[in-house]
Amino acid sequence: MRLTLSALLATAAVVIAAPASAAVVVTHVSVGDPNTLPAGQTLIADFNNPADQDATLVDFVTLTLNGATVGVNEGVGGYSGTLPNDPTNYLTVPGGKSATFTSTRLMSSFSLYMGSPDTYNSIRFIGAGFDQTINGTQMFQGDTSQAWSWGKRINFDFGDYKVSQVILSSSSNSFEVDNAAANFAAVPEPATWAFMIMGFGAAGAVLRRRNALSLA
Ligand SMILES: [Ca+2]
Ligand SMILES: [Ca+2]
């Protein structure tokens, strides 16, 4: 089989090319169910231990609570609402504060069980060449009830993009969430890397041969 340089470069371009679409797809995947996770997602944080607020269940994710609280005034009007069917502790992001998940493994989707929908809640996703903020109106799909009886798992799918940081923030009290989960992108197999390196090597060899021929 004879591989031309253009074919090799086309293959390389497909591997390297930046994804075309840039929209986070927001889906409400379950109602009133704190615990069921979307297929393929891993639980990151359950916020059940107020004494160890940034405890995470996977060692490649860190959580920074920039004024957000766990086990503080949960269900106290004016500060933190409640999450239906969830008797455990959860994360409250009050006005002017934030909470940041940072992962060394890239995420292809992320989800949270959320309560009391507020338009002033927001969630920001950051990855290589990617930075998108979803506001409360988008996140809760127009639901502005602020009802404490409202509880849904909301999933954020990044399409072809990969996200390494998720920032929850709110401009007023409060943004209440529990049981954060994510689908972590597969780490390329050694064989895949070997194939790519061989491909680049072959492209280089063709280039060198062409240069040698043109000098002749
Ligand atoms: Ca919890
Ligand atoms: Ca709320």
Question: What is the C-alpha separation between 165 and 73, in angstroms, rounded?
Answer: 27
User: Distance, CA 151 to ligand 1 centroid (Å)?
Assistant: 13
The per-residue pLDDT for 139 is: 95
**136-145 long-range contacts, CB within 8 A, separation 24+:** 138/26, 139/26, 139/114, 140/114, 141/26, 141/28, 143/117, 144/117, 144/118, 144/119, 145/117
1 within a domain of the structure (yes/no) = no
| Separation of CA 84 from chain center | 24
The per-residue pLDDT for 57 is: 73
Question: What is the C-alpha separation between 93 and 81, in angstroms, rounded?
Answer: 11
Range of the domain at 55: 23-185
Burial code (b: 16+ CB inside 10 Å, e: under 16) for 145-160 equals: eeebebbbbbbbbbee
The per-residue pLDDT for 53 is: 74
The per-residue pLDDT for 59 is: 86
Structure tokens at 84: 């239906």
Count the helix, strand and coil residues of the chain and give each as a percent rounded to the nearest 5. Answer: 20, 40, 40
209 within a domain of the structure (yes/no) = no
Q: Which residues of the chain have pLDDT under 70?
A: 1-22, 188-190, 193, 203-216
Q: pLDDT for 36-67, tens place per residue?
A: 999 999 999 999 999 887 777 788 999 999 99
User: Distance, CA 198 to ligand 2 centroid (Å)?
Assistant: 53
200 within a domain of the structure (yes/no) = no
Asked if residues 90 and 177 have their Cβ atoms less than 8 Å apart, the reply is: yes
Residue 86, number of CB atoms within 10 A of its CB = 19
pTM over the 0.85 mark:
no
50 within a domain of the structure (yes/no) = yes
Q: Work out how many domains the chain is built from and give that number.
A: 1
The per-residue pLDDT for 215 is: 57
**Closest listed ligand to the CA of 47:** 1
Q: pLDDT for 179-207, tens place per residue?
A: 999 999 887 666 776 777 777 777 666 66
**Closest listed ligand to the CA of 82:** 2
User: Distance, CA 158 to ligand 1 centroid (Å)?
Assistant: 25
- What's the CATH code of the domain at 165? 2.60.120
72 within a domain of the structure (yes/no) = yes
The per-residue pLDDT for 14 is: 47
User: Distance, CA 58 to ligand 1 centroid (Å)?
Assistant: 16
**Closest listed ligand to the CA of 48:** 1
11 within a domain of the structure (yes/no) = no
